Structure 1
Amino acid sequence: MALDLSDQPEIVQQAYGYAQQGWDLALSWLLSPAAWSQFALLVIAYLAAVLVARRLRPVLNRQITPAQEATGVIADSRRFAVVFLPLLLPLLAYGFTAIGETLVRSMFDSGAVIAFGKRVFLFLAARRLVRDIVHDPFLKLLGRYVLLPVAALYMFGVLDDVLAALTALTVTFGNISISAMALIRGIIAGSILFWLGGWSTRQTSQFIDAQEQMRPSVRQLVGKAIEFAIFAAAFLLLLNIMGINLGALAVLGGAIGVGLGFGLQKIASNFISGVILLIEGQATVGDFVELDGGESGKIVKMTARAAILETFDGRWIVVPNEDFITTRVTNFSDSGSANRYEAPFSVSYDTDINLIPPLIEAAVSKHPEVLDEPYPPDCELRGFGDSGIDFAVEFWVNGLDDGPNKYTSDVLFLIWNALKEAGVEIPYPQRVVEIKGPMPELKS
């Protein structure tokens, strides 16, 4: 029975119209022999898919799954393929239904029911993909709010109408006119492209970091260059997908470029300085450096704009790359080269100083981190002090005398123990007080 909704809002009338069309379609399917045969074919196709999937899935699982100790591209590809085995049932049902649709259309010249069932199986495959297979948060979000709605619209046969309506709707930005469909397509494609860009950048960085024959600075430079190229290509591809004419953006881009050129001179200078640092390798991640301004620390990260120094007390100092080029920089580590330190000490004037150098050098050589190359420990006479004879022992270690490495402290312990065992006195300050004139009398 038709209802009179002339006094209702237009959206209510449209909803009622769609509901009426759906009801009429359902009645036509229920009363049609061809529709009943198509329903039967759908059931048969689904049962056949269940039987085939039960027998085929264990076989495929055994054949595709690699051994646990297997490594390499082929093994990783096989592990990736195993993840998609849950899609076997809905995809088999979709394929068998497609075969049944061909038979029905050849017999009855009609296949609306079985075509709808085929689209239902495709929607179930998309749902299982999003629910059980995809685990990345971004891809799961994209599948939940993009793939599933699109699959649902396709299942009900209204996808083309919705796409046509979105294409007819345009959005204008100044002289640039973009359809709503192009805008949505750009948002979706941009999200996918930049996610792929980030993923490929991470994979490339892992591959480059594994190339130990390359200098760390070269590895960072190659990684940054590849990252810039990937995202630049993704941006240009996104503009092409959205249908934006790059010529229309030329004037706007030129004006923005001039403004950025004047306003971002320091950023450009730091970026170029960072590239020079990466090419020359004078300072790279892991080096301990001290700048002319007094900043010192270990370089833990180098970005396009600045280098991050970590001090011994755990603080991070952000130093612009330009400072490494325009000021004097002292590199103490130079990517792991040996460093020389010295430990000063004094002995009493009653000591035979000729015995001190071989005694101390032998004691310091016992330290496991003290090197014989480029030079072994060297004890030198430095001078005659007020309270004792001043010596210093120079030694080389493959690292920095910082918090984790207490080289100087360890060497001083070795010197103390060696002098004590040899009976050598370590002096302490002594003063001679001269009193002129008679001694004062003490009053009782």
Structure 2
Amino acid sequence: MVGASLLIPRRIARNYSFFLRLFLPTLLLLAFTCLSVSTSAQLPGGKPKEFTPEVPDFADPSADWWTGWTNASPEERREWLSILITNWREWEKDIPEDDEVLQEGAAKISQSLQGITITWKKREEYLKVSIMPDLEFPGNPTVLEWAKADSEISRGRRRLKGVELQARQLKSTQSQSLSLLRKQVIVLRDSSGREEDEAAQALLLAQINHLNIIEQLSTVNSFLGIWQDKIKEAETKLRRMLDSLVYSSEDAKEIEDDIASSDKKIERISGTRTSIQSTTEPSTDPTINMQKDLTLMQLEVDLLEEQLDKRKSELLQSINEVLNEEGEERPLIISRDLLENANTIIEDASRELAVRQRQVVAWRADEEDEDLSRWWSYFARIGSGLARANDLEQDIQRYEKAQLEVYRERQGWWATVRERVSLGAREAYNRWRKLADYQLFTITQNPITPRLIAKIIVVLVGVWLLSGLTQAFLRRLVRREHASESSMYNLGRVLHYTFIAIALIVVLSMLGLDTSKLALVAGALSVGIGFGLQAIFSNFISGLILLFERPLKVGDLVELESGVFGRIRDINVRSTRITTRDNVDILVPNTEFVAGRVINHTLDDPVRRIHVSFGVSYASDPDLVREAALEAASRVNITHTDWKRKTEVWLMGFGENSLDFKLVVWVNSNMVTSLGDSYALYNLELLREFREKGIEVPFPQRDLHLRSWDVPALVARPSRK
């Protein structure tokens, strides 16, 4: 065993040396080849293509000479722009001085080239700008120092949103610029002579402007990413700052003074608003009324600002007090009423402000600008106040989160469970509301949002459920025999279509369409009805006639002029469903019931009389035949007899083969199913009864009369001599 174990490593070593001798030259050759390839890439003949700026023919610029700009480095772009400016200045000298159009176009091109240089200078200036210049993170911070840092970061976020908006606008402008370039290329291609020179300048100007837009977008994106990183870093430091807060009695005194000052302002604003509202001086001047309404709106926004500012101070006071280890435990200040009311006030005031602006424009469209300036100052102040109120609302939400963090750190996790769950639910609701208010598209300048679509779905589902419940209630009345089936069916159909019409009007109003202009829509529909929808509209009107006039009802046994016979199952707006004897459902257009002849066997009185013809042999006793026929009729369950309507047997005539009788019987049509035939029932019972009583039903007979005669004697004809 020991010898075998020693042999295995040796065998492996021999195999390893064999493989090494076999593959080592191959590996060396492969490495040498790779080295040769990498070395040849650095040889003069294999050197990568150097950057060469492309200068267009200014008299006839190509459509794609500028496309390499985006792949060039900043240094290469600067070199390219310098060459473009130099060549353009040389070419510009050859433009005739007396040609004002070309000189004006050349000036615009020179200005656009200089605009790229200005964009680069602005980039250097933007990179030097600090998004949060006053931001500080001191050691052992107090509540007010934390609030100051939070306010500075909030201002940075607003600046960042402005830059993001600018970036989105530049992207949109870039797309429009590309469209303009394509149009100018087509114009240059289709131009000739004098127009060709102007089209060439227009294309060159559009191309250089597009390069300027590319540089502006690149500049904005460059410092946009830097600002985003700085704000994220500042937010991280702010959270750490919250963990190291210390109590400050000076901050407590300052916060108390701020709360007292807010109370005084709230009282003053409330008093002013109450005094204006209590003024009952009648005035028919719309300008005075508008000024009063805008003043009240401004006071309402100011009052909301002070209330939100006071709430911020109360939250800071609560955070500062919980940091005081010597003080008593203070409860959390969590109240949803203020924020909910603030959100409602901001939304209502924004809508009302838009309405007031449209009113002022409608009133003062023909006046001078000075007359409108004071109104726009009102609108500007109210709009600024609403923006500040919105910012204060967001500040309060952050302060509440900070308060929960501090309380959780000081008093334990379980002390803030209910408030944290409530805050999380409110954040989820705010996110859902933001998503629900996202504008998908517009209809007549009205935004269509997921919230609006959800409301429309709720309306339609509610109408559907209401119609279903109404139908169920009417069917229940029929089952309890409080109303007839036909009347409840007609009422249900009318209510169903009424609900649909109401839902349609509500949906149109929710979409922002003017329902007062439905008359125009009706006029347009009437034109369409007159041409292509005549048959459909005729069936619709006929259906309404059938529902209201009630010449037919569900369950009636009808026979149409076309030969259709059966019971009515449904009466719809366009057609009526009839079930025939063969259990076949036929959809009959409603116009056939109104314009054609219809036999309704169950319109007023379901009892009708039928005539069943039969024949017996001449040897039969007529009295026995009459008795048998009456007995057979009594056995049929649809036979109706009373003191006025009795079954009769009539002898109608003497036929060639039989005595012709007719069974005249009254039947209840409601008992006749559409799958059966009343004549067949009576014929079957007559046959049974005749067989029991031995009455013969004759076959067709013929009498054959045979007559015989003698052969006549032959008479010899006399011969002529």
TM range (shorter): 0.5 to 0.7
Radius of gyration: which is bigger? Answer: 2
* Structure 2 CA distance for aligned equivalents of residues 281 and 351 of structure 1: 50
* Structure 1 CA distance for aligned equivalents of residues 243 and 456 of structure 2: 45
* Structure 2 CA distance for aligned equivalents of residues 11 and 351 of structure 1: 116
Please tell me the residue identity of whatever aligns with 2:445.
Answer: S
Residues 435/196 of structure 1: CA separation in 2 closer, same or farther (3 Å cut): same
Give the conservation status (yes or no) of the 8 Å contact 1:284–1:335.
Answer: no
Aligned counterpart, 1:218: 487
Aligned counterpart, 1:431: 702
Alignment of 1:256-405 (within 5 A): 256-334=525-603, 337-373=606-642, 375-399=645-669, 401-402=672-673, 404-405=675-676
Residues 111/404 of structure 1: CA separation in 2 closer, same or farther (3 Å cut): same
Q: 2:697 is paired with a residue of what secondary structure?
A: coil
Q: 1:103 is paired with a residue of what secondary structure?
A: coil
Q: How many residues align?
A: 328
Give the conservation status (yes or no) of the 8 Å contact 2:648–2:665.
Answer: yes
Give yes or no for the alignment of 1:237 onto 2:489. no
Give the conservation status (yes or no) of the 8 Å contact 1:170–1:177.
Answer: no
Give the drift of 1:118.
1.1
Give the conservation status (yes or no) of the 8 Å contact 1:116–1:156.
Answer: no
Give the conservation status (yes or no) of the 8 Å contact 1:186–1:241.
Answer: yes
Does 16-25 or 402-411 show the bigger shift?
A: 16-25
Q: 1:221 is paired with a residue of what secondary structure?
A: helix
Greater RCO (CA < 8 Å, at least 6 residues apart): 1
Please tell me the residue identity of whatever aligns with 1:117.
Answer: V
* Structure 1 CA distance for aligned equivalents of residues 541 and 436 of structure 2: 46
Give the drift of 1:242.
3.5
Aligned counterpart, 1:117: 421
Q: CA RMSD in A?
A: 4.1
Please tell me the residue identity of whatever aligns with 2:422.
Answer: K
Q: Could you report, residue by residue, the CA deviation over 1:257-296 in whole angstroms, capped at 9, with x for unpaired residues?
A: 5334543233232222222222222211111211122222
Residues 180/438 of structure 1: CA separation in 2 closer, same or farther (3 Å cut): same
Aligned counterpart, 2:441: 171
* Structure 1 CA distance for aligned equivalents of residues 457 and 227 of structure 2: 34
Aligned counterpart, 2:471: 205
Please tell me the residue identity of whatever aligns with 1:104.
Answer: L
Give the drift of 1:405.
4.3
Give yes or no for the alignment of 1:103 onto 2:331. yes
Structure 2 portions without partners, runs of 5+: 1-218, 248-329, 336-395, 405-415, 711-721
Q: 1:104 is paired with a residue of what secondary structure?
A: coil
Give the drift of 1:413.
3.4
Q: 1:196 is paired with a residue of what secondary structure?
A: helix
Greater per-residue helix proportion: 2
Give the conservation status (yes or no) of the 8 Å contact 2:652–2:662.
Answer: yes
Residues 424/326 of structure 1: CA separation in 2 closer, same or farther (3 Å cut): same
Aligned counterpart, 2:428: 155
Q: 1:294 is paired with a residue of what secondary structure?
A: coil
Q: Could you report, residue by residue, the CA deviation over 1:177-233 in whole angstroms, capped at 9, with x for unpaired residues?
A: 12243xx33321111101111110111122223344545443333223322322222
Give the conservation status (yes or no) of the 8 Å contact 2:436–2:451.
Answer: no
* Structure 2 CA distance for aligned equivalents of residues 310 and 21 of structure 1: 79
* Structure 2 CA distance for aligned equivalents of residues 261 and 13 of structure 1: 67
Q: 1:105 is paired with a residue of what secondary structure?
A: coil
Give the drift of 1:7.
13
Residues 163/388 of structure 1: CA separation in 2 closer, same or farther (3 Å cut): closer
Give the drift of 1:402.
4.9
TM-score (norm 1): 0.61
Give the drift of 1:30.
7.4
Q: 1:317 is paired with a residue of what secondary structure?
A: strand
* Structure 1 CA distance for aligned equivalents of residues 246 and 657 of structure 2: 118
Give the conservation status (yes or no) of the 8 Å contact 2:638–2:672.
Answer: no
Give the drift of 1:354.
2.8
Residues 203/156 of structure 1: CA separation in 2 closer, same or farther (3 Å cut): closer
Greater per-residue strand proportion: 1
Aligned counterpart, 1:417: 688
Give the conservation status (yes or no) of the 8 Å contact 1:348–1:387.
Answer: yes
Residues 311/160 of structure 1: CA separation in 2 closer, same or farther (3 Å cut): closer
Q: 2:445 is paired with a residue of what secondary structure?
A: strand
TM-score (norm 2): 0.39
Give the drift of 1:327.
1.3
Q: 2:332 is paired with a residue of what secondary structure?
A: helix
Does 374-383 or 299-308 show the bigger shift?
A: 374-383
Q: 1:285 is paired with a residue of what secondary structure?
A: coil
Q: 1:297 is paired with a residue of what secondary structure?
A: strand
* Structure 1 CA distance for aligned equivalents of residues 708 and 222 of structure 2: 122
Give the conservation status (yes or no) of the 8 Å contact 2:580–2:675.
Answer: no
* Structure 1 CA distance for aligned equivalents of residues 662 and 244 of structure 2: 107
Residues 170/308 of structure 1: CA separation in 2 closer, same or farther (3 Å cut): closer
Q: 1:343 is paired with a residue of what secondary structure?
A: strand
Give the drift of 1:365.
1.6
Please tell me the residue identity of whatever aligns with 2:659.
Answer: I
Give the drift of 1:389.
0.9
Residues 341/254 of structure 1: CA separation in 2 closer, same or farther (3 Å cut): closer
* Structure 1 CA distance for aligned equivalents of residues 474 and 611 of structure 2: 39
Give yes or no for the alignment of 1:188 onto 2:461. no
Q: 1:383 is paired with a residue of what secondary structure?
A: strand
Give the conservation status (yes or no) of the 8 Å contact 2:575–2:589.
Answer: yes
Give the conservation status (yes or no) of the 8 Å contact 1:343–1:408.
Answer: yes
Percent identity (aligned) = 24
* Structure 1 CA distance for aligned equivalents of residues 435 and 690 of structure 2: 92
* Structure 2 CA distance for aligned equivalents of residues 323 and 13 of structure 1: 78
Residues 252/206 of structure 1: CA separation in 2 closer, same or farther (3 Å cut): closer
* Structure 2 CA distance for aligned equivalents of residues 9 and 318 of structure 1: 71
Give the drift of 1:236.
2.5
Residues 253/352 of structure 1: CA separation in 2 closer, same or farther (3 Å cut): closer
Give the drift of 1:376.
2.9
